[in-house]
């Protein structure tokens, strides 16, 4: 089963740039979070899954739902999730992306803590979050409008604010039992934070492998 998540700000980016219907207007006006699921109907028949969505266990959680009755309809629904990265790219260079993972039961606490921290910037920073919720993998996209009263004066000022945020929320991720990197590795920007998830001995082993296979 695929279990994908995205928030309202993510879908509004898709709606605006890819000219698609607003899900809030289509399904539920107060929705702030959306989930897209796909599964093997041979293992879980459609009518059984529909019963789960409307059953007592999820009655207070699922406010509205739609089940694709054709391949075309399924593609339309998946287009919201798959169009997010493309739609967010217009925010560059005032866009900062992070790829992290968390235990499912810690995601809500982390996202609220991050939002509280962003709120301290008086509306200059927003977050659009999407990812593979079933795997605990979230893509965080923190951005600022390049124009307007709430904008940063330049990219350098934005980058300094982001660097301070990184130090705080990467530490929080580690304290909640998560990983500071999920699908896309550590790269160059997170090398200074590797110790949050790996011991000194583990890091030294990595360095030894690097020297052996890529001594440059």
pTM: 0.84
Task: Extract the runs of DSSP E, i.e. beta strands, from 144-203.
Answer: none
Question: What is the number of domains present in the chain?
Answer: 2
The predicted pLDDT at position 149 comes to: 60
Residue 153: pLDDT band with limits 50, 70, 90: confident
What number is the average pLDDT over the span 168-183? 93
In the predicted structure, residue 193 carries a pLDDT above the cut 90: yes
The answer to whether 83 touches 20, Cβ cutoff 8 Å, is: yes
99 lies in the same domain as 179:
yes
The mean per-residue pLDDT over the stretch 165-190 comes to 91
Q: Give bridge partners of residue 6 from the DSSP assignment.
A: 34, 130
The pair of structure tokens assigned to 160 is 């300094």
Q: Any idea what the CATH number is for the domain that residue 112 is in? A: 3.30.70.2740
Residue 175 included in any domain: yes
Residue 60 resides in a domain? yes
What is the model's pLDDT at position 29? 63
What domain range is 175 assigned to?
Answer: 92-185
Q: Which of 85, 113, 148 is the endpoint of a domain?
A: 85
Instruction: Tell me whether residue 119 is in a domain.
Output: yes
* Residue 119 to residue 113: CA distance in whole angstroms: 10
Residue 59 has a pLDDT of: 65
In the structure, what pLDDT confidence band is assigned to residue 31 with cuts at 50, 70 and 90?
A: confident
Same domain, 44 and 101: no
Q: Average pLDDT of the chain? A: 86
* Residue 205 falls inside a structural domain: no
210 inside domain: no
Length in residues, the chain: 216
Beta strands in 74-159 (DSSP E): 95-101, 126-132, 137-143
């Amino acid at each position: 089963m695929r279990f994908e998540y995205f928030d309202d700000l993510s879908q509004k980016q898709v709606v605006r740039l890819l000219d698609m219907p607003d899900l809030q207007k289509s399904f539920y006006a107060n929705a702030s979070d959306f989930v897209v699921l796909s599964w093997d109907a041979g293992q879980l028949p459609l009518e059984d899954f529909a019963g789960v969505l409307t059953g007592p266990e999820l009655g207070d959680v699922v406010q509205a739902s739609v089940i694709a009755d054709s391949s075309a309809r399924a593609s339309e629904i998946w287009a919201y999730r798959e169009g997010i990265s493309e739609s967010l790219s217009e925010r560059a260079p005032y866009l900062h992306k992070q790829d992290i993972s968390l235990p499912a039961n810690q995601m809500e606490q982390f996202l609220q803590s991050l939002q509280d921290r962003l709120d301290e910037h008086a509306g200059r920073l927003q977050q659009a979050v999407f990812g593979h919720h079933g795997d605990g993998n979230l893509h965080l996209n923190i951005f600022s409008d390049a124009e307007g009263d709430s904008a940063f004066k330049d990219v350098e000022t934005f980058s300094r604010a982001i660097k301070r945020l990184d130090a705080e929320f990467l530490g929080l991720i580690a304290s909640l039992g998560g990983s500071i990197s999920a699908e896309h590795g550590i790269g160059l920007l997170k090398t200074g934070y590797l110790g949050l998830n790996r011991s000194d001995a583990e890091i030294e082993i990595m360095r030894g492998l690097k020297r052996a296979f890529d001594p440059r």
